[in-house]
Amino acid sequence: MIGFFFVVIIIAFLNSLSNARNTIAQTPPMGWMSWELFRCNIDCSDKTKCISEWMYKDQADVLHAEGYKEAGYLGVHMDDCWEANTRDPNTNELYANTTRFPSGLAELGKYIHNKGLKFGLYTDEGAYTCGGYQGSQHNEELDAQTFAKWGVDYIKVDGCTSNLTYLKEGYKKMGQALELSGRDIEYSCSYPAYMTTTEDKKPFYEFIMDGCNEWRNWWDIECKWDSLSSIIDYFGNASHILAPFAGPGHWHDPDMLIIGGNCITNIEEETQMAIWSIMAAPLIMGNDLRKVTTDSKEILLNKAAIAVNQDPLGQMGVRIVNKDNNYDTQIWYRNLFNGDIAVAFY
Ligand code: GLA
C-alpha cells in the first residue's frame, strides 16, 4: 500500500514538473534527420548529397509534397557538421559554413517554415561537437538566443568532448537559456546516453527539471538489423523502469527510424515502426526521402501506428515477456487515451 502511494506521489510530482516546464512536445516529435545517411559528408561535388542548404531544402520539399507532412512528420532536423570552424570574431555567435550554407541559417529556417515545417538544429554541450565543430559549452545563453533568432524549433544537444560534471551543469544552463530565449524550442538532450550507468540509475526527473523534452538514452542506431534489434532488447529490458518517466513533454529517444534506408527488410521495418510507436518514441526518419521505396513509405505512413505513437495519453508501452524463450517472442502493450489498449507482437 505504501509503495502504491509512493508511485502515485512520484507520478503527480512528474506531472506538475512537466506542466510547469512548458507545453512543447505534448506528443513525440516526428520528422526527418540527416545523420543516419548523410553523416558528416562535407564533400559537395554533388550538392544534393552533402551537409548543405541544397540537401536540406530537397528533403523539406519531399516532406512537404509527398504526404509526410500530412501524416505528422514536420521536423527537418539538421545534425552535426553544419557549423563553420570558428565562431564569429565580432559577435562570438555560431554561424554556418558559408560555402555549404551561402544563404545562412535564418534563410534556411524561413524556407522550411514556408513549407509549414519545423526547423531542427544540432549543437553540443562540449567545446566541440562529435564531428569536431564549435560546441555550445560556456556559450549557452548566446547560442540559445542565436537559435531563436534563426527560427529554430528544436535543438538536439549532444554531449561529446565534455565530461559528466560539465554536462550536468551545461544541460541545465541550456534548458534555462532556451526558456529565456523567448521562443518555444523543443530541447533534445543526449546527456543520458553519455552516462556510463544503467537506466535504473539515471535521474530522469533531473532531465525533466532541466527542461529536456526528450533524451537519447543509449547508443547510436546504425542502418542494420543487429543494431535495431539490440536497441529493441535494451529498451524492452528497461521498459518498466523507463515508462513512468515518459509522458507529454518528455520522451525517451531510442534514436532514428531506419525505415526507407534500404538496409533492413520490410518485415524488420514494420517491426521498428510498431515498437517505436508503442514505445511513444520520437518518429524521426534517418533515410533519404528522395529514395524511399513505396513499400517503406507505406510503413512510415501507417495511420494506425502513428495514431498509437501520437496518442494524447502519452503512455510509454512496456514489454511483457517470457524470459524462457530468450526474448525471441515479445508482447508489448500500452494504454490509450480512449481506454483502448494497443498491443504489439514481436
Ligand atoms: C553522436 C550522436 C549522433 C550524431 C553524431 C554527430 O554520435 O549520438 O546522433 O548526432 O554524434 O556527430
CA atoms lying within 13 Å on the CB side of residue 68 = 31
In angstroms, the Cα distances linking 325 to 96, 274, 284, 329, 330 are 51, 21, 31, 7, 9
222 CA → ligand 1 middle, Å: 11
Predicted confidence (pLDDT) per residue in 173-193, tens digit: 999 999 999 999 999 999 999
> Residue 215 pLDDT more than 70?
yes
Ligand 1 atom showing the smallest separation from residue 40 Cα:
12
Predicted confidence (pLDDT) per residue in 240-298, tens digit: 999 999 999 999 999 999 999 999 999 999 999 999 999 999 999 999 999 999 999 99
Whole-number pLDDT of residue 329 = 85
Does any ligand 1 atom lie closer than 6 A to the CB of residue 80?
yes
Whole-number pLDDT of residue 21 = 52
341 CA → ligand 1 middle, Å: 34
Cβ distance 119 to 152 under 8 Å? yes
Pairing of strands 75-77, 154-158: unpaired
Whole-number pLDDT of residue 196 = 84
130 CA → ligand 1 middle, Å: 6
Whole-number pLDDT of residue 5 = 46
Predicted confidence (pLDDT) per residue in 3-55, tens digit: 444 444 555 555 444 444 567 999 999 999 999 999 999 999 999 999 999 99
Give, for 332, the enclosing helix (H) or strand (E): strand 331-335
Mutating to test ligand 1, I would choose from 32, 34, 35 the residue with most ligand atoms within 8 A of its C-beta, which is 35
Cβ distance 151 to 119 under 8 Å? yes
Does any ligand 1 atom lie closer than 6 A to the CB of residue 220?
yes
The pLDDT-based confidence of 328 (bands split at 50, 70, 90) is: confident
Whole-number pLDDT of residue 22 = 63
